[in-house]
Amino acid sequence: MKILFTVGGSQAAVFGVAPLAAAARSAGHEILLAADEPLMAAAQSLALPALCITPDRMRYGQDAMTATDRIDALLELTRQWTPDVVVGGLSHVPRVLAARLKVPFVRHIWYIAPMARRDRTAIAELQPQLQRLGLAELPEPDLFVDLCPPALRPPGAPAAQPMRWVPRVSQRRTEPWMYTRPEGGRKRVLITAGTRNLMLDTPGSSLRRLVDSLTATGAEVLIAALPEAAERYGAELGGVRIGWIPLDVVAPTCDLAVHHGGATTAMTLIHAGVPQLIVPDNGYGKAVAEAVSGYGAAVMVDRNRPGDGQDPDEVTATACREILTDPAYAERTRTLAAHSAALPTPDEVLRGIEALAAR
């Protein structure tokens, strides 16, 4: 069987689809990953056979702006390599492709933020593409695979096939400090902005104050960041380790993680049973923060609305200290991790996809 996986947006989309793609490849199926140029390095770091279809990054909600180029590129690909199944994510362009090819379509996403309204808008905007390709309508996905634990799904979320989260990130040479806990029972706190540097744009104030507040409690602080951020800011942050840290390796050694609300970050931390302090930098991150904090496994700090007369930096520092001293957060996170670990594996979900192709 040939399975075409398609991704766009951020590296998180590559990391999210990698376990299912790897399971398909290990089962003997042929796979290809169609991606934007900015995502090619991430795909290659995970040893996925990837093909660039557009030079620019696709963003959710902008299907109509790039649909013609993306569909034409995918059609050209499938003239040379015809898939039996198409797997897509947030974008509905792969769904159009599957309808044109008359093959099953699998939607594979992390459904933690309500998106029905945006989906309807995106589908409506693709009507010119359907007409161009001679399609009367856009069929519903044949299978909806959701990586979000059921307890975190928003009200009204569509029925889906749940799948266990399996961490996948770009790796680097592993060192003992990454997979061992600090000596003497010292707490460890990880700060990260995922593959973006937004949290590190102004390290001289907020980040420095947070680091100082955490180290004052005796905690060891790690900062996971892109290499250019480490080179730029490392000297300003004293003896703190900063650089590309494989999150899946270091997460089990942490007592707290402070981050922006990215899907890969949040789920990898949940998988490892690590409580979170989430400072969202956009609407999606806020939805993640609200869901995880609503379960009791995190605290959300909205720096745009810290409260009357409150210093956002002090609010963040206080919340970190609360999580580190109150065992309830760790207990709730471990419960959520156990629920997630009980969900079907990528291998089990693959069997359902194989059944679709066999119809």
Question: Residues 47, 52, 56, 60: is their CA dihedral positive or negative?
Answer: negative
Residue 197 is predicted with a pLDDT of 47
Among the listed residues 168, 165, 99, 164, the one whose alpha carbon sits nearest the alpha carbon of residue 138 = 99
Are 149 and 211 contained in the same domain?
no
Indicate whether 203 belongs to any domain.
Answer: yes
Are 227 and 246 contained in the same domain?
yes
Indicate whether 171 belongs to any domain.
Answer: no
Q: Which range marks the domain in which residue 205 is found?
A: 176-341
Say whether 108 sits in a helix, a strand or coil: strand
Mean pLDDT, each 10-residue run in order, the chain (359 residues):
93 93 97 94 93 81 81 95 96 95 96 88 91 92 96 93 94 92 94 60 63 89 80 70 90 96 92 95 90 96 70 87 96 97 98 92
Full-model pTM: 0.91
Question: In CATH, what number is assigned to the domain containing residue 29?
Answer: 3.40.50.2000
CA distances from 174 to 180, 201, 254 (A): 11, 27, 16
Residue 308 is predicted with a pLDDT of 59
Burial grade of 325 (CB within 10 A; 0-12, 13-18, 19 or more): exposed
Residue 331 is predicted with a pLDDT of 97
Q: What gap in Å lies between CA 215 and CA 210, rounded to an integer?
A: 9
Are 298 and 266 contained in the same domain?
yes
Among the listed residues 282, 279, 254, the one whose alpha carbon sits nearest the alpha carbon of residue 269 = 254
- Tokens at residue 38, please? 């900015």
Are 160 and 180 contained in the same domain?
no
Q: Give the DSSP H or E segment for 258.
A: strand 256-259
Kindly state the DSSP code that residue 333 receives in the 8-state scheme: H
CA distances from 233 to 171, 192, 201, 204, 278 (A): 22, 14, 9, 9, 22
